[in-house]
Amino acid sequence: MSKLKSIYTIVSHGIYTKWDAKSKDLPKIRQFTTEIPAEEDIEFGFVFNAQKAKGKKLVYTIYHPDIPDEDGEVMAPFTGIAHVRTNNWDFYLGDTIWLPIDNKTGPWRMTISHDDQILAEKTFNVGFAEQNNEAMFWKKRGF
């Protein structure tokens, strides 16, 4: 008998409503983007879907852009483990910006892997509004 192959997809990515860790509900997408404004408490990341993968152990990692910790040392990437609970399972991987904001700009890379194989990956560019995109350029000029 042949085994069914697991299917992994990124359902959405960008800016989300505030995530409540105590709730079973995932945050809702507000804007699809990889360009994130450097604002306090902005929620960004992606929703990942795993099908036919019940019981697998996934490792998630968030690579920060050389943010110093309280001792001035560069923070290590944030990692964790998630267990796929159903055969059609959604998982939110995200982060927020905290004070001080100045040292949070740059690329934030988020990955989900299984057995050292990356299943999903997304890089978000956090920057100040004037750095972010052409739309902000024109918005500042009244268009």
**Per-residue model confidence as pLDDT tens for the chain (143 residues):** 446 799 999 999 999 999 888 888 999 999 999 999 999 999 999 999 999 999 999 999 999 999 998 898 999 999 999 999 999 999 999 999 999 999 999 999 999 999 999 999 999 999 986 545 566 566 556 65
pLDDT at 23: 86
Cα distance between residue 3 and residue 7, in whole Å: 13
Please tell me the distance from the alpha carbon of residue 141 to that of residue 102, in angstroms, as a whole number.
24
Domain boundaries, the chain: 7-140
CA-nearest of 14, 26, 7 to 122 is 14
- State the pLDDT at residue 2: 43
Burial letters 64-95, b for 16+ CB under 10 A, else e? bbeeeeeeeeeeeeeeeebebeeeebebbbbb
Structure tokens at 128: 């100040």
pLDDT digits (tens, 9 = 90+) for 29-70: 999 999 999 999 999 999 999 999 999 999 999 999 999 988
pLDDT of residue 3: 64
Residue whose C-alpha is closest to residue 105's, from 135, 78, 129? 129
Whole-angstrom distance, CA of residue 88 vs CA of residue 17: 23
Return the CATH fold of 7-140.
Answer: Immunoglobulin-like (2.60.40)
